[in-house]
Amino acid sequence: MTRILLFIRAPVRGKVKSRLAKAIGDDMALDIYKYLVCHTLKTLEESSYPFSLCYYPPDSEAILKNWLGSSCSYVPQHGADLGKRMENAFIQAFADGMDKVVLVGSDIPRLSVSIIGQAFNALATKDAVIGPAHDGGYYLIGFNRSTFLPDIFQGIAWSTDSVYNETMNIFDKAGFSIHVLAGLSDVDTLRDLLSSLHGRL
């Protein structure tokens, strides 16, 4: 069985897209964030793969259901930092019986049904799959149940331009076979936003 884990935050003014908000204000940054989440949800729905909304903070389910409805599968994120929260999300999904799990971010305008399909197809022959983001992070990561490697979520300098390289170094040391997807941009800054709009977000 397969599952997509969509990592999202509660849509609270001043708590999302902080770098973007410095340029355009908290209200507009919140509107952009909500648009990006809905855009990503539409893509996931079109992909036909089952997915769960992994939300943070863990006490915000009511806010999210009020926004996105109660028909989605909601799973709280748990952990002291992003790495631990991603690790725990994979552990829970595999404990639920999933065989292939792919985690994606919510602010990737060019994420497509095709890329999601490529990610799951790659796991038929590779230990893991990763989608590099142009800012030095990654927008997607996936594992088979038998090849899950918690180490790649530990000791990483999150929210820096070295995340992808640090992650790949850990994969290399573990001798993993990796499928690397096309690089995409996320939306963290005004420059990212303008670039996405130019590309017909």
Render 35-85 in DSSP notation, one character per residue: HHHHHHHHHHHHH---EEEEEESTT-HHHHHHHH-SSS-EEE--SSSHHHH
Q: Is the pLDDT of residue 164 over 80?
A: yes
Rounded Cα distance, 168 and 172, in Å: 6
Band (191; pLDDT cuts 50, 70, 90)? confident
What value does the mean pLDDT take over residues 29-39? Answer: 92
Q: Is the pLDDT of residue 201 over 60?
A: no
Q: Is the pLDDT of residue 193 over 80?
A: no
Q: Is the pLDDT of residue 198 over 90?
A: no
Q: Which of 68, 72, 71 is nearest to 4 (CA)?
A: 72
Q: How is residue 152 annotated by DSSP?
A: G
Q: Is the pLDDT of residue 28 over 70?
A: yes
At 185 the pLDDT is: 87
What structural domains does the chain harbor?
A: 2-198 (3.90.550.10)
Comparing 20 with 147, which gets the higher pLDDT? 147
